[in-house]
Amino acid sequence: MKKAVTLVVFFIISVSIIAASVLSDPLNIKLLVTGYFGEYRSTFSSDLNISEHFHKGIDLSTNSRVGLEVFAPESGYVDSIMINHPLYGTALMLTLPEVKNFITNEIGIKILFGHLQDLGSITNASGRRLNKIFNELLLDYGSSYIQVKFPENEIEFNKGEMIAYSGNTGNVDPHLHVEIRDLEETIILNPGMYFELPEYSGTSVKVFEIISGGDVYDLTKYPNPLVKISQYTPFLLRTRVESRQPINPKSISIYVENSLIYRIDFSYFLMENSDLVHEIYTNSTMRDYRYRLDATVPEEIVTVNKWQTVDFSSEKSARLEVIDHWGNRAEVKFRIIERR
């Protein structure tokens, strides 16, 4: 966990709206987000020791189709491919050696595309070579899982060259999964920092209820409720972003007497912490999220936690702020006091 603390220094100011955009679109259709970074995922695989986890990337709509052309968003080379992975299906990972890591400020990242139908392309030399290797592996290994690592710069692609076809491998509906990692693959970064993601018309942030000590405070019906909290019972928030499909917010913040005391922020997390999903979520599904507002880990997601610095023996004014990727926000005022 020492590494997580070091990384937080680079990102000590939480980015509410992710606006940096350095990579070109991987699809030749409008990019529409159907799954966001950090969401609760219940899918698992006992074969590869994969448990419930945070969503490590974003999902882009392919309009329910397979076979859309996927393009290199920047010049780089093939790092590895996976075939018959229980979660990713067929996946391609590229190294982009000239792209900045926005968390560590180092140069170089890796990008993974998942659920692909086919790898490579007949439109360029590197694509033809990759496609030949892919088909040979399919013949040799059939439905078995295999991962192949390539030497540096062995198969290079230029920005904008076709690298694959989208699909539905990994037993999912058709879409393109996009994931960004550091070069050591120890940090998972929010891809929204790298792509310009258009906002779906009508997107809004919904805040439904606070749950504390077994009591449910309906924030849609009762303004400024008095919420009673206890260190011995969970303190939960049910919220989500209504978009083309329900997705999770970018950040959740709590202010007490106008001072920030707690924040969950989905900018990055450590690979080793990707299965700590139940530290943040509880009683959640992949489209209905309940967040623990008393979580302490992972520290790179719980970026502010000052609960212990506030005396709740007397009633305090509080404000909840939930922000999505595009800066839409919902603010709810409530009062808070220690349960006796």
Q: pLDDT tens for residues 316-327?
A: 999 999 999 999
Q: Is residue 15 very low, low, confident or very high in pLDDT (cuts 50, 70, 90)? A: very low
Find the mean pLDDT for residues 87-109: 97
Structural domains in the chain, sorted by start: 22-193 (2.70.70.10), 204-338 (2.60.40.10)
- Are 297 and 4 in contact by the 8 Å Cβ rule? The answer is no
| Cα 131 from chain centroid (whole Å) | 29
Question: What is residue 43's predicted lDDT score, i.e. its pLDDT?
Answer: 77
Question: What is residue 4's predicted lDDT score, i.e. its pLDDT?
Answer: 39
Q: Is residue 21 very low, low, confident or very high in pLDDT (cuts 50, 70, 90)? A: low
Question: What is residue 19's predicted lDDT score, i.e. its pLDDT?
Answer: 42
Instruction: Say if residue 7's pLDDT is above 80.
Output: no
Instruction: Say if residue 20's pLDDT is above 90.
Output: no
Question: What is residue 229's predicted lDDT score, i.e. its pLDDT?
Answer: 96
243-273 per-position pLDDT tens digit: 999 999 999 999 999 999 999 999 999 999 9
Question: What is residue 1's predicted lDDT score, i.e. its pLDDT?
Answer: 36
Instruction: Say if residue 13's pLDDT is above 70.
Output: no
Q: Is residue 51 very low, low, confident or very high in pLDDT (cuts 50, 70, 90)? A: confident
Closest CA to 270 of 91, 35, 7: 7
Take residue 185 and report the two structure tokens written for it: 């693959």
Question: What is residue 5's predicted lDDT score, i.e. its pLDDT?
Answer: 35
Share of the chain above pLDDT 90, in %: 88
Q: Give the CA dihedral 115, 147, 131, 97, nearest 10 degrees.
A: 90
Q: 120 phi and psi, to 5 degrees?
A: 85, -175
